[in-house]
Structure 1
């Protein structure tokens, strides 16, 4: 990959060095040295290298480039020539608002709500290989997007809690959540069952859940309680490199609103409850390994969703961080015989 004139790798506050790999890898350019057209052309030409770097490092951050608008970010995303994963086709429970066909708000939850570490949509059979984040407006304070190398976390978890780590790998996980009949923007997981499942009627919802292998129960106030099939909790992304690919931390710590109780949100795939002490170790490790990306307007972060988890810190002021998903993948639990 040949850098443009005036472009260079850079240190970024809080950057970590994990397994001889910078996390995230960060790039910048001299002020006014690279035009938007030059940058987008370079992204297109360097596409394969950039994706490989995101997988090697977990994330690649771009700061100081000529990307002051959402349309500029959209052009960046299109330059990578990745299959779009429209949010409307996802099974995520977060409420989001589209800005372009590829770009939408990262989460509409209130600023005081902390969003815990997770791999995007790992709690569903469908997930994106890549996530791209963009800062349109940086908050007055707080609002960082923490990132965590999930392969490093799993290696440490296996050392500290070997039985728990082994059980997560051998039985997978099941997730349960209650979806409202209409979008609830006050909740970090308030997307309605209509939007989540892409249906209009209860009969269509039941058919869709059947296709996906979910069990379900209709509750009062037009709410739908759904439980996933057994899903993997650990992913081998390359030979010998395993990641803690799940939503265990987010579900256990953060799936709480007037409809949902975190204690009922997640279990091992065999139906047994999680060891709370081991879960707390995983939560602690994620925080210890976290890199907090403090947003500057125009920042872009390219994330390999199978390698790195992300979260959101509470904030004050106006924060507009946008996202784009790419390359829909599917996963299912395969028992080890």
Structure 2
């Protein structure tokens, strides 16, 4: 038999055969795992409908085993969800003003206290030693359903108040908070927020308050969410030693950050404990692996961070912004 030598051909192996779907925590976290080094941005582009369907079911979706070694591979993943609109990539610890690496960061919605609220947070684990630093999250549709009526109804009737005061050497200043050096832009942001009790020292903003709605319909999904930082920004959630120091240094009206009922009354320790327990009962958590990408619906879900016990670097992409979805409309 004569051996025939022909032109070499290339066979493209479908990445679909190298990807499996599972779920954990009683179906509250879907996981898409690549068994080969697949390009995540490319896979999402070819499977966007499935990604959106799975994500809409729980508000969170974990991608594992894909090839995301550097920011060069991560940025296109963020772009896949930005829809061509502006996006940011940050260190996940950039908002933690009173928390060290060795402490918990409480559950919160990123930027829910600004005029523009991003829907998507895309966390990417660049480096981990699998020792702490988890990013737990909670679907707030569950929180809303489980809240006692006396708490939910009062907040929905009155809203909740965020108080911010800017002090030298404690956290960010107003320009850092609003991410601008332009005082005119700060004024514009305050107007968009309907801020009140706005305080100035010359041309330096030293404080303001805003009243927000605690719950509202998700702008893309139409479901009721409990979207707020009532617990996260309350003085009761600050670590005890730091809390005692802040209460010693500042009057209640001058604390760097605090939250209140919509009529300005303090929120009792009992009610804060009730809120805290409901979040903890519904949390979902997992250990990071290098290259993991976690897609969170930041309007539907709150997230936190467990104490970091070994070197770790988790970055987060922020995109698809909505305007004042939690604006309060009082009758």
> With structure 2 as the length reference, what TM-score do the two structures score?
0.80
Answer yes or no: is 1:163 the counterpart of 2:150: yes
**1:27 paired residue number:** 32
Distance in 1 separating the partners of 2:257 and 2:34: 48
2:226 to 244, 252, 257: 244
- Per-residue CA distance 1:127-165 (angstroms, 9 max, x = gap): 1011110101114521111111111111011xxx21111
CA distance change for structure 1 residues 85 and 274 in 2, over 3 Å: closer, same or farther?
Answer: farther
- Per-residue CA distance 1:212-255 (angstroms, 9 max, x = gap): 322322469x7722212x2110122355x422100012012446
CA distance change for structure 1 residues 81 and 127 in 2, over 3 Å: closer, same or farther?
Answer: closer
Distance in 2 separating the partners of 1:78 and 1:207: 28
CA distance change for structure 1 residues 3 and 276 in 2, over 3 Å: closer, same or farther?
Answer: farther
Q: CA deviation at 1:334?
A: 4.0
- Per-residue CA distance 1:79-108 (angstroms, 9 max, x = gap): 33535454xxxxxxxxxxxxxxx3221114
Distance in 2 separating the partners of 1:194 and 1:324: 21
**2:46 paired residue number:** 45
Answer yes or no: is 1:217 the counterpart of 2:203: no
Distance in 1 separating the partners of 2:188 and 2:62: 41
Q: CA deviation at 1:192?
A: 2.3
**2:17 paired residue number:** 5
Q: Secondary structure at the match of 2:322?
A: strand
Larger Rg: 1 or 2?
2
Distance in 2 separating the partners of 1:168 and 1:275: 13
Q: Does the Cα contact within 8 Å between 1:43 and 1:80 map onto a contact in 2?
A: no
Distance in 2 separating the partners of 1:107 and 1:85: 21
- Per-residue CA distance 1:180-239 (angstroms, 9 max, x = gap): 45xx6xx7xx2321122344366764464245322322469x7722212x2110122355
Q: CA deviation at 1:278?
A: 2.2
**2:137 paired residue number:** 147
Mapping of residues 246-265 of structure 1, within 5 Å: 246-252=228-234, 253-254=236-237, 265=258
CA distance change for structure 1 residues 297 and 84 in 2, over 3 Å: closer, same or farther?
Answer: farther
Q: CA deviation at 1:52?
A: 3.4
Q: Does the Cα contact within 8 Å between 1:171 and 1:268 map onto a contact in 2?
A: yes
Mapping of residues 111-122 of structure 1, within 5 Å: 111-122=101-112
CA distance change for structure 1 residues 203 and 27 in 2, over 3 Å: closer, same or farther?
Answer: closer
Alignment gaps of 5+ in structure 2: 1-13
**1:137 paired residue number:** 127
Alignment gaps of 5+ in structure 1: 87-101
Distance in 2 separating the partners of 1:103 and 1:57: 24
CA distance change for structure 1 residues 276 and 40 in 2, over 3 Å: closer, same or farther?
Answer: same
Q: CA deviation at 1:302?
A: 0.6
Q: Secondary structure at the match of 1:292?
A: coil
1:107 to 73, 86, 93: 93
**2:6 paired residue number:** none
**1:233 paired residue number:** 214
RMSD, aligned CA: 2.9
Structure 1: which 4+ aligned runs deviate by more than 6 Å? 259-264
Q: Secondary structure at the match of 2:294?
A: strand
**1:68 paired residue number:** 69
Mapping of residues 76-91 of structure 1, within 5 Å: 76-86=77-87
- Per-residue CA distance 1:16-60 (angstroms, 9 max, x = gap): 22xxxx221111021xx2432xx4222112224323322221100
Q: CA deviation at 1:307?
A: 1.7
Q: Secondary structure at the match of 2:119?
A: strand
